[in-house]
Amino acid sequence: MSSIEKDYIEVKIDVARVNRMFKELNLSTDESRKALRRGLAASARVIQRQAKSNLNTVQNRASGTTLAATNLKKWVRYVVYKRTLGFRVHIQESRGSSKKENPSFLLKFFEEGTDERFNKRIKKERMFSRRLRKERYTGKITASHFFSTASKSKINEAQSTLQKHIEKHIQKIASKR
């Protein structure tokens, strides 16, 4: 279970002002949606950047060093919804590819932690398999909550800058015409 209490956060923007800008600049429906989506994406990147920087500070308890997270950072992603005009910042789940290609399942362990883990002993019939022949302790991952702390700390900044990002992208699209 995630440590984030809510699944969504409602943001209020000055709709009258945004609509007035659309009307004054004569933006089409497609251009106005593009400006809104780009503004939402800019606000989502605020949270994504903080989550990636928090991932750099996750400690490897066994060696006492920081986690080599360069390959893991790319799995902290955001999605901007096209029809409902919203966004979600999330940890991408691995879907059928090998663990070497997509190690994103590890991020959930670093976010929420694990219990004490053991390799299980195998039966003698499978003696020549690659599994261990006796049980051994494999460790425990302590929860770092890198993602939930990033979302809690930067959600207010993302909300407050959303209006500014939307207006900036409206101006940008209008100036390209």
How does 20-32 read in b/e, with b if 16+ C-beta sit within 10 Å?
A: ebbeebebeeebb
**pLDDT over 50 (residue 4):** no
pLDDT for residue 47: 93
Nearest to 94 by CA among 103, 85, 84, 86: 103
Q: How many residues does the chain have?
A: 177
Confidence grade of residue 74 (pLDDT, cut at 50, 70, 90) = confident
How many CB atoms are located within 10 Å of the residue 63 CB?
8
32-64 pLDDT per residue, tens: 999 999 999 999 999 999 999 998 888 777 667
**pLDDT over 90 (residue 133):** no
Confidence grade of residue 96 (pLDDT, cut at 50, 70, 90) = low
pLDDT for residue 2: 39
pTM for the whole structure: 0.78
pLDDT for residue 50: 94
**pLDDT over 70 (residue 158):** yes
